[in-house]
Structures are given as structure tokens and as C-alpha cells.
Amino acid sequence: MTTAVAEPTGLAPLPFETYRTLDPAELDARIRAVKQAMGPELLILGHHYQQDEVIQFADLRGDSYKLAQQAAASRECRWIVFCGVHFMAETADVLTGPDVRVILPDMAAGCSMADMADIDAVETAWAELGELIDTADVMPVTYINSAADLKAFCGRHGGIVCTSSNARAVLDWSFRQRSRVLFFPDQHLGRNTARAMGVPLDQMPVWDPKLPMGGNPAEAIERSRVILWRGHCSVHQMFRPEHVAQFRAKYPGIKILVHPECTMKVVDAADLVGSTEFIIRTIEQAPPGSLWAVGTELHLVNRLAQEHPDKTVMFLSPMVCMCATMYRIDRPHLAWALENLARGTPVNVITVPAETARWARVALERMLEVR
């Protein structure tokens, strides 16, 4: 039997501060109690980069692409509590029906890469590009790690969203329709994907939004096929070719597996490159006794090592660099958000404005249709 969650009652939300003092075991018990009481009306989505103390409560887990699919497919739930970051919660709100509402337990959970492109800068870039080339022949492609208004920009201009799982398929789709792509905000995913498709580096200028014409001469834009935004992931940019060399020297026969948000030099030095889901699947299917150094977020690498003790899985760096916003959600925030929801005083409800949501949905649905 499930307990329906009341609409907001006018009660004051439960204060967050009290949750900081609770014992982890008590927090776990309170989280489970709300899950049991709400049943299928509540769906907790967890991104792979979350801490173990939080991901254990996820009904479904995945990378950005998989979670977008799961949000779009949700039918029974009335509430999604998203253990991820702001752009993911926005995507869930856009893709679900009006009877489903989305909560982000900690509003400070974000993505530094997503913040490297904003709607004003992208619209300015679009206008400046229009002074040199026909933007009707430019396909705007935004990585899913971006704000809803940038997804809406792509929707309005015939463009599309991509993830690291389907970036190549999205670029294939784009080039079938237009001769150029404006790819934002991650330059490395765009460069690595396009180069693997045969696009020369001299046809991939980098657009710096702080400089006129992105810091490029006119001829660089005119010969371009992929215009890359100057953005990056702080975690994946940390990995270096020398780290790869060090692991190969220390562990003969080791395989290097990295995410395509890494720099081109690291991708070139690796054995395998792929999305978060690809990385997980590769380790799952690897033979017992195999050695791996993995270049992606530390929490995921540690979880893979714990879940596959018959293999050696290591973090591809002698230094630890974690995205403090990507895994920000913790037990206290999750318990606080769930208990407020259960008493009818929901907190941190993510609502994308209707017009933005309409066009963002267009771009996201194109993404989900591309194979």
C-alpha cells in the first residue's frame, strides 16, 4: 500500500540544519521509510558519479543519457528525486509530463563545464558567426551537460542535444543536414568525436566567448566544419599522457580506459575510449585478472573496483581531483528532501519555464531518436 503525498500544505518546510547532526544509520532508516511509504509514486534517479551513501537508494542509476531515457519513460511516479546535478534535474523536468515534478536535494549540485556556456554568450556567438557564414547551414549541438535554455536554443534553431554515448551518431545526423556544427560547451568531446569521424583539426577552430569572433580569423571560421566552444570538464582535463605512460611502465599489459571528455593526447594514448556506460560495461565484461587504469570520476572508479574484485581497477592519476559539485548530494540532503516531500512541503522543486521547456524538449527528443 502506498501513501499519497499531499500537495503543499502551507506548513513551513522542515529545516535542513537538524539533519546535519543525525547519525548515518538514522538517516538511512528515514530515507528508506519515505521510499516504502511512497512506493511507486516516488522515483529516485542516481547518476553514476554520486557517493555510495546516496547511490544505494537510487531506484535507477545511469549516465546522463540513460537517466534522460528513464525520466522520459517514467509512467507511475508523481515525484522524481534526482541525485545528480542541476542540468540533469532540468532535463528530467522537460522530458516528463505535467503531473510529474522533479526535486534536486541540493541546489548547489552543478557542473562547472555546464557553466562555461550561457545563453547570452551563445546567442552572441551565433550573431557573430552570422556575419561571416550562413548560420542556416550551422547545426547547433549542445552536450547534455548544459542549461535548459541552451537546449532550447538548439531546439529553436533546428539543433540537437548529445551525450558522450551518442555524440558520434548526433554528429552524423547533423552533417547529413548541414555542413557545419557549433558544438558546446565541451571542446574535448567535440574534438575527439569529430576527429574520429575524419574531420581535420584545422577545420575545428575553438571559439573563446570572451574574445571577438571567438578569437579566430575570418578564414578559420570560413573553412570550419566543427566550431568548438572553449569549455572543459575539470576532472577529465586533469588526466595527462604522462599518467598513461607511468601506468604502462609500472603495470605491463595494463589497459587504459578513458572518457571522451579527456584531452586528445590522453585519448590518443588510451586503449579504449567511451562514455560512462561504456566504461562500466567494459569493466563488467573484462576477463578476471585483467588490469585497468580508468580516466573518469573517482567515485565511479572506486565503485567499479569494489564491484569487480576479480580485476584490478585503478584511477588514472597519481592525484585525486573530484568535482565538488557533481557529487555534492549527501545523506542529510536526501533525507531532508524526502521527508519534506512526504509531509507535503516539497523543497528544491525544479521547474523549467514553459517556453524554454517546449524548445528544449524538441532538442532532447531529437537526441533520444538518434541511434
Task: Please report the pLDDT score of residue 312 as a whole number.
Answer: 98
Residue appearing with cell numbers 598513461: 244
With a pLDDT cut of 70, the percent of the chain lying above it is: 95
Give the pLDDT band of residue 320 (cuts 50, 70, 90). Answer: low
Note the pLDDT of residue 1. Answer: 28
Looking at residue 4, its pLDDT comes to 42
Res. 323: pLDDT tops 70: no
User: Is residue 118 scored above 70 in pLDDT?
Assistant: yes
Q: What is the pLDDT of residue 9?
A: 62
Residue 169 has pLDDT above 80, yes or no: yes
Percent of residues, the chain, with pLDDT higher than 90: 78
pLDDT score for 2: 34
Angle CA 17–22–26, to nearest 5: 135
Residue-level pLDDT at 233: 85
275, 284 contact by CB (below 8 A):
no
SS3 206: strand
The pLDDT of residue 7: 59
Residues 371, 51 contacting (CB under 8 angstroms): no
What is the biggest distance separating any 2 CA atoms in the chain, rounded to whole angstroms? 67
Q: What's the pLDDT tens digit per position in 194-227?
A: 999 999 999 999 999 999 999 999 999 999 999 9
Q: Which of 194, 133, 132 is nearest to 162 (CA)?
A: 194
Spell out the CATH class of 236-315.
alpha beta
At residue 235 the predicted structure's pLDDT band, cuts being 50, 70 and 90, is confident
Residue 321 has what pLDDT?
A: 55
Q: Which long-range contacts (CB under 8 A, 24 or more apart) does 61-65 make?
A: 62/277, 63/163, 63/164, 63/165, 63/275, 63/276, 63/277, 64/88, 64/91, 64/144, 64/145, 64/163, 64/164, 64/276, 65/144, 65/163, 65/164, 65/165, 65/166, 65/275, 65/277, 65/367
CB 208, CB 230: distance < 8 Å: yes
Which pLDDT score is estimated for 106? Answer: 94
Tell me the pairing of strands 349-350 and 101-103.
Answer: antiparallel
Using the structure block, give the residue that is written with the C-alpha cell 550551422: 138
Whole-number pLDDT of residue 113: 80
CATH 3.40.50.10800 domain span(s) along the chain: 17-110+326-352, 236-315
Under a CB-based contact definition with an 8 Å cutoff, are residues 22 and 335 in contact? Answer: yes
**Closest by CA position to 154, among listed 369, 368, 371, 356:** 356
Averaged pLDDT for residues 278-288: 97
pLDDT value at residue 326: 59
* 62-109 residue pLDDT tens: 877 788 788 888 788 999 999 998 898 999 999 998 999 999 999 988
260: cis peptide before it, omega within 30°?
Answer: no
> Span 157-185, mean pLDDT?
96
DSSP 14: P
Considering only residues 113 and 285, tell me which one the structure prediction assigns the higher pLDDT. 285
Distance, in Å, from the CA atom of 25 to the CA atom of 301, rounded to the nearest integer, reads: 25
pLDDT for res 322: 53
Q: Which amino acid is at 362?
A: V
Return the closest-CA partner of residue 195 out of 123, 267, 280.
267
Range from 50-59, 165-174, 238-247, 353-362 carrying the lowest mean pLDDT: 50-59
What are 67's strand-pairing partners? Answer: none
What architecture is the 17-110+326-352 domain classified under in CATH? 3-Layer(aba) Sandwich (3.40)
Q: Which CATH architecture has domain 114-233?
A: 3-Layer(aba) Sandwich (3.40)
Give the DSSP H or E segment for 358: helix 354-369
